[in-house]
Amino acid sequence: MLDSSRQRMAGGQDQKWQKDAADQNFDYMFKILIIGNSSVGKTSFLFRYADDSFTSAFVSTVGIDFKVKTVFRQDKRVKLQIWDTAGQERYRTITTAYYRGAMGFILMYDVTNEESFNSVQDWVTQIKTYSWDNAQVILVGNKCDMEDERVVSFERGKQLADQLGLEFFETSAKENINVKSVFERLVDIICDKMSESLDSDPTLVNAPKGTRLTDNPMPTNSGCQC
């Protein structure tokens, strides 16, 4: 025991917590949702961004998962709470909880899957129905590394994005193409939107450090179910 207690670690400033964000100090917290049909790669996309990892063997998402990542953007520490849910989520409870307070969306389709592209419009409707008006959306065509199996061209994706007034990226979680750019762009446009709102409502400027912009107090349901 003595011997082992004399063993030493050499240095080690690597403060790596399991979920990669050890600090409580942040200027803003944004809740971001990744939506899209089943199996377009939402979970992989999140894992690539948050953990920088990819594996083609994975399980379907059931319920809600989220990861947290803190980034620096425009001199601000922004804590991202990125939510991932099942493409086929049927439970109202989960859907509403999921959309509540989201400030940004990554709407994803799979460039090798026509159906997922055709569903984009439905997802946009879903966003409009459930989310906050100012929520920012980026359209993402994932799996762009699979050129051989591609059925949705870049042009079609871009065209649809323009039509819907969304920003557009093609990405590959597998090859780590544009994953970071999507999040960075999304954070930027959320920040822009925010400063716009702040301009029009200066009372928000003095919000204390660490304010959670997503915490809209919700009225509790007071209907008695008896």
Partner 1 sequence: TLLKRATTYLNLSAVATRKQSSGDGLPEEVVYSKNNVCVHAIDRHTNQLVHNLGYLTIKTHHNTSGHTVGDDDQLWTLCLQWTPNECLTKHLDHNYENCVQNNHIIGSDAPIDGNQLLHKLDTNEKSNEKIVIGGDASSDEEFVSEFKICINKDNNNYKNTSKSSHSSDGERKRRNSAAEESVDTVDGRMDGLCVRRCQSCRNTPLKRSANSETSINTFSADLKQIKSLRVFFGGDEWDTSSDGSGGDNTSGQLVIVSRDSFYKVFDFHCGGLDRLLNVLNGLDFWDKSETSKETNSLQFSICRPKLDSHECHPEEELYMCVDADQWSESVNELGQVMDEQSIRKAVFFAGVDPSLRRKIWPFLLKRYEFESTYSEREADDSLKSKQYYEISGKMKTMSDEERDWFWRHIESIVEKDVPRTDRSNPYFAGDNNHNIDKMRRILINFALYCPQMGYTQGMSDLLAPLLCEIQTEDKTFWCFDSMMRLTRFVCSPKDTDMDYNLALLRELLRLMYPRFYQHITRFPNDLGLLFTHRWILLCFKREFHEKEALHIWESCWSHFQTYYFHLFVCLAVICIYGKDVITHDMDSDEVLFHFSTLSMNMNGKLILRKARGLFHEFNIMPVIPCSLKNVTKCGLEMWDNNREQLIECVKQLPNVCKFGAICGCDSPTNELSLKD
Are 87 and 40 within 8 A, CB to CB?
A: yes
> Is the Cβ of residue 12 or residue 202 nearer to partner 1 in the bound state?
12
Rounded distance between C-alpha atoms, residue 75 and residue 212, angstroms: 17
Q: How far apart are CA 16 and CA 31, in angstroms?
A: 22
Work out whether 167 is an interface residue with partner 1 (CB under 8 A).
no
3-class secondary structure, 76: strand
Give least dist CB 84 to partner 1, A: 10
Residue 76 is a binding residue for partner 1 (CB under 8 A): no
Asked if 139 and 110 touch (Cβ cutoff 8 Å), the reply is no
Among 68, 71, 166, 189, interactor with partner 1 by CB under 8 A: 68
Q: Which is nearer to partner 1, 15 or 129 (CB)?
A: 15
210 sits near partner 1 (criterion: CB under 8 A) = no
Under DSSP, the state recorded for 207 is P
Q: Provide, rounded to whole angstroms, the least separation between the CB of residue 53 and partner 1.
A: 3
Could you give the C-alpha distances from 92 to 32, 88, 141, in angstroms and in order? 19, 12, 27
Nearest distance from residue 18's CB to partner 1, in Å? 5
Q: Report 121-160 residues binding partner 1 (CB under 8 A).
A: none
Token pair, residue 32, equals 């971001």
How far apart are CB 143 and partner 1 at their closest, in Å?
A: 13
Cα 109 to Cα 41: distance, rounded to the nearest angstrom: 8
> Which residues of this protein are in contact with partner 1, per CB under 8 A?
1, 3-19, 21-24, 38-39, 43, 47, 51, 53-55, 57-66, 68, 81, 86-94, 96-97, 115, 215, 218-226
